[in-house]
Structure 1
Amino acid sequence: MKGYLIYLISLNILAFSLFFPKTTKATTNPLSQPNNKYGIHIISENDLESAEKLVNSSNGSWGYVTFVIREDERDLARWTNVFQKLSELKLIPIVRLATTTQNLSWQKPNTSETKQWAKFLSQLPWPIQNRYIILFNEPNHAKEWGGDINPTEYAHIARIYWEELKKASFDFFVLPAGFDLSATNSKDTLSVESYWQQMFLADELIFTIFDGWNSHSYPNPNFCGNPKDTGRSSLTGYLWETNILENQYFLLPNTPLFITETGWGCDINPNVYQEAFETIWVQPNIVAVTPFILNYEHFPFNHFSWLKNNETTPTYTLVQSLAKIKGEPILSKSQQPLPQFISSDFPKLLLDYKTWLSPNVSL
């Protein structure tokens, strides 16, 4: 089996190099630099400052924010301003791509949109080198996939989006959709075991293409489980996921892990978040934990909100107080400081240049 795995992965790398020979840069492992794993999920750019005060508090910097961009929201001016604000606040964006809703369901992604997405995302002033992209949301729910459940189609579309993004830039760090780990087999949902198996049957290399794994590890049942619970429907659901994916579907060990949705939807002691951040979400390959959600005033997600009537909750205050580290991600080229010689050595360089132009100088 190991020999077969090596063969398949080698074949995948070879195919990639043949199709994209002009692409020379690879995504950077975010864990190769000091990393602040604290993050939060937001629904509006108006919440960026509240997010920064949360995830970059207590000596931290470069925490994470997860948010959605719909295909009908690709306003370059708007999102340029947002991304410039992210740089100022030292926040790392994790962008989930989305379509639009129709008949109470999210429409299926159209492969004809891939070039538009790649062009739009490439024009944004990303704060850091890695450009984190999530390919849609919980497709094992029919309401998230045009009223249908189609693992074969998701695998096909995910690969096409991945290819187009990688053609645009290797800096795109592509993550799969997070899955509902508690979903059962019904007319509206499919268990992740069945879903992954069908994805794999459609494309045996599909789980090797992603740069990291994206998990929705909620404390169930009813988003109100005990933080000490384990297994698929717990805060450690990501361990259950990656164990299956590594052993059956060729997900590489120690793949960078992003928990982009988690958290309680009931009244709980906020100390459970301290327990979670300090004793549960501690695996060395965890890059970011972005609980759902910072600010949501209305049903059905108001019970998850860390802000109430624009006031901080005990959960917000508790997590804000937890010790964090200063992240040191590799900045994007547009954010990197100019070389030191620009200010200090330029007169000398100019003089040297003029000296070489002198007619008295010969080789």
Structure 2
Amino acid sequence: MILIFFSTYSYTFAASSPFSVKNNRFGIHITNEKDLPDAAVLVNSSGGDWGYVTFVITEADRNHDRWQSVFDQMRRLHLIPIVRIATKANEEIWEVANEAEINNWVAFLNSLNWVVQNRYVTLYNEPNHAKEWGGKIDPEGYANYLNNFANELHSASPDFFVLPAGLDASAKNTTSTMDESTFLKRMLVAVPNLFDSLDGWVSHSYPNPGFSGSETDTGRGTIGSFDWELNYLKSLGVTKELPVFITETGWSNKEVDPNKISDMYGYAFRKIWNDNRVVAVTPFILNYPQEPFTEFSWKKADNSFYPYYSSIQAVSKISGEPVQIVSGQIIGAVAQPVILFRGDFLGAILARNTGQSIWNTKNILVTADTRDVLIKSYSFPNTEPTRLGLIFFKASLSETEGFFNKSIFLSDKNGKRITNSFPIEGVIAKIDKMQVITFFGRIGSYLQSSLNLKF
């Protein structure tokens, strides 16, 4: 049995609410696009569809063609991207984000044809660790940067769904780390209305201590850290209800028996992460069987998987239905110029897919502007975004005879228009069978005599 949980909270969203449609919260974190097929097999299994994948894009990696190819592959595999952006690592320290790079990031991210309408972007990683923010801890600086970046993204497109960096909930106040509660408090002192610019919350809900805590533990430093974080934000005056993206979590397979981890994940998804505020859970990490993340990798060095891969694969999931932009443009259309009275006619449409969905005969309809045109059938190959598709159709007209001038367009599976209209015209001829036989007989005689053909 598949259970769908609906939230009673009032949310404010950038583009569309992930809770307004069926949502498959199962996801995974990857480091390379070559792992996308394995990710799809994991998160879209057992009734599931449109699961989530978190991955990182660095400043040096802003290659449009590469990432558009990744997005296109995710579209085919029905995977929703959560993009974490990053600067550049100098040995173990990540450079502090530069204000001058915001416009470059916005231009790059806005140039991509995203997989779904909501463009999930999380800005950097655990800045309450000095090594993640240029070697220093600067909650005020991060808050201002986050606010400015979020506003620029929203100005570029209302479809950007902007998320803050996940923080280390178990960090202490040391020379290299800061307690999360202190970090958040100082962020909000610096930018009191910061969450007006954000669309959700990112949590790194790890089972501590030592990434080996019990799945039944609750509160800060557990797989339920997100709940403690949301309650703490409310205590600081944040009234906005924030949808949660758990982009990092998971047990150490060095500290915990991998067979036991299977049961722990099962409990987590059934009892903790089924919270109606949680949009996605993407455990860290699918394939990284070498240091420093060997203990978190779901895949082994011999390319086999730890048992929790198959156990999560077997868990019943929801078939998600994320909102995609469906649009197109008809470049041209033609119809059979002469139609026999009460007969069918053939036509063709050349159209470009300008949206996000992959067109097929189940989700795109050929439609006429007037009811006297009956579309009987049509066919075309799957057509991906930016590509041209040639659509052949068969139709009939209720008119008797004479010239006709009609128009056709494409609509989505719900009948909503997605393209411009394009005219088709011709003539309806009232010809009986003997006239047709006589006409083609004369053509045959002409060809035979003119070209000395023998039939």
Aligned to 1:134, the other structure's residue is in SS state: strand
d(CA) in 2 for partners of 1:116 and 1:236? 36
d(CA) in 2 for partners of 1:209 and 1:33? 23
User: 1:182 maps to which residue?
Assistant: 170
Q: In structure 2, do the counterparts of structure 1 residues 45 and 355 end up closer, same or farther at CA, with 3 Å as the change threshold? A: closer
Cα distance, 1:339 vs structure 2: 4.7
Aligned to 1:207, the other structure's residue is in SS state: helix
Cα distance, 1:355 vs structure 2: 9.6
Q: What do the CA deviations read for 1:230-287 (whole angstroms, capped 9, x no partner)? A: 110101111100001022131413x211100001013331111101101111111110
User: 1:276 maps to which residue?
Assistant: 268
- Is the CA contact (8 Å cut-off) linking 1:127 and 1:332 kept in structure 2? no
Q: Hey, which of these two has a bigger chunk of strand by percent?
A: 2
User: 2:115 maps to which residue?
Assistant: 127
Q: 2:322 aligns with which of 329, 338, 343?
A: 329
User: 1:263 maps to which residue?
Assistant: 250
d(CA) in 1 for partners of 2:272 and 2:204? 15
Aligned to 1:284, the other structure's residue is in SS state: coil
d(CA) in 2 for partners of 1:249 and 1:357? 68
User: 1:165 maps to which residue?
Assistant: 153
User: 1:340 maps to which residue?
Assistant: 365
Q: 2:310 aligns with which of 305, 317, 320?
A: 317
Which structure has the higher relative contact order (CA within 8 Å, separation 6+)?
1
Output the TM-score relative to the length of structure 1. 0.87
d(CA) in 1 for partners of 2:19 and 2:217? 27
Q: 1:43 aligns with which of 31, 39, 42?
A: 31
User: 1:74 maps to which residue?
Assistant: 62
- Is the CA contact (8 Å cut-off) linking 2:122 and 2:162 kept in structure 1? yes
- Is the CA contact (8 Å cut-off) linking 2:151 and 2:197 kept in structure 1? no
| Runs of 5+ consecutive residues of structure 1 not aligned to the other structure | 1-12, 14-24, 359-363
Q: 1:197 aligns with which of 176, 185, 192?
A: 185
Q: 1:104 aligns with which of 51, 69, 92?
A: 92
Q: In structure 2, do the counterparts of structure 1 residues 111 and 348 end up closer, same or farther at CA, with 3 Å as the change threshold? A: farther
Cα distance, 1:46 vs structure 2: 0.6
Larger radius of gyration: 2
Q: In structure 2, do the counterparts of structure 1 residues 355 and 340 end up closer, same or farther at CA, with 3 Å as the change threshold? A: closer
Q: What do the CA deviations read for 1:120-170 (whole angstroms, capped 9, x no partner)? A: 111212110000000100000000000000000001100111011111101
Q: In structure 2, do the counterparts of structure 1 residues 103 and 317 end up closer, same or farther at CA, with 3 Å as the change threshold? A: closer
d(CA) in 2 for partners of 1:169 and 1:85? 23
The letter of the residue matching 1:312 is: F
- Is the CA contact (8 Å cut-off) linking 1:136 and 1:177 kept in structure 2? yes
Q: 2:297 aligns with which of 268, 293, 305?
A: 305
User: 1:5 maps to which residue?
Assistant: none
d(CA) in 2 for partners of 1:82 and 1:57? 21
d(CA) in 2 for partners of 1:177 and 1:55? 23
Q: 1:352 aligns with which of 400, 403, 406?
A: 406
Aligned to 2:19, the other structure's residue is in SS state: helix
d(CA) in 2 for partners of 1:278 and 1:316? 16
- Is the CA contact (8 Å cut-off) linking 1:265 and 1:303 kept in structure 2? yes
User: 1:34 maps to which residue?
Assistant: 22
d(CA) in 1 for partners of 2:103 and 2:325? 22
- Aligned-residue sequence identity (percent) comes to 45
Aligned to 2:405, the other structure's residue is in SS state: helix
User: 1:22 maps to which residue?
Assistant: none
Output the TM-score relative to the length of structure 2. 0.70
Query: Which 10-residue stretch deviates more, 146-155 or 268-277?
Result: 268-277
Q: In structure 2, do the counterparts of structure 1 residues 100 and 128 end up closer, same or farther at CA, with 3 Å as the change threshold? A: same
The letter of the residue matching 1:340 is: L
d(CA) in 1 for partners of 2:111 and 2:93? 29
Matching of residue 56 in structure 1 with residue 49 in structure 2: no
d(CA) in 1 for partners of 2:263 and 2:197? 37
Cα distance, 1:335 vs structure 2: 2.3
Query: Which 10-residue stretch deviates more, 25-34 or 272-281?
Result: 25-34
| Runs of 5+ consecutive residues of structure 2 not aligned to the other structure | 1-11, 327-354, 369-374, 377-392, 398-403, 408-422, 428-455
Cα distance, 1:45 vs structure 2: 0.4
Cα distance, 1:197 vs structure 2: 1.0
d(CA) in 1 for partners of 2:151 and 2:424? 50
Aligned to 1:351, the other structure's residue is in SS state: strand
User: 1:149 maps to which residue?
Assistant: 137
User: 2:281 maps to which residue?
Assistant: 289
- Is the CA contact (8 Å cut-off) linking 2:46 and 2:313 kept in structure 1? yes
User: 2:214 maps to which residue?
Assistant: 226
Query: Which 10-residue stretch deviates more, 155-164 or 334-343?
Result: 334-343
- Is the CA contact (8 Å cut-off) linking 1:208 and 1:250 kept in structure 2? no
Q: Hey, which of these two has a bigger chunk of helix by percent?
A: 1
Shift >4 Å, 4+ stretches? 345-350, 353-358
d(CA) in 2 for partners of 1:220 and 1:355? 67
d(CA) in 1 for partners of 2:208 and 2:425? 72
Q: In structure 2, do the counterparts of structure 1 residues 251 and 179 end up closer, same or farther at CA, with 3 Å as the change threshold? A: farther
Cα distance, 1:116 vs structure 2: 1.1
- Is the CA contact (8 Å cut-off) linking 2:23 and 2:322 kept in structure 1? yes
d(CA) in 2 for partners of 1:118 and 1:298? 33
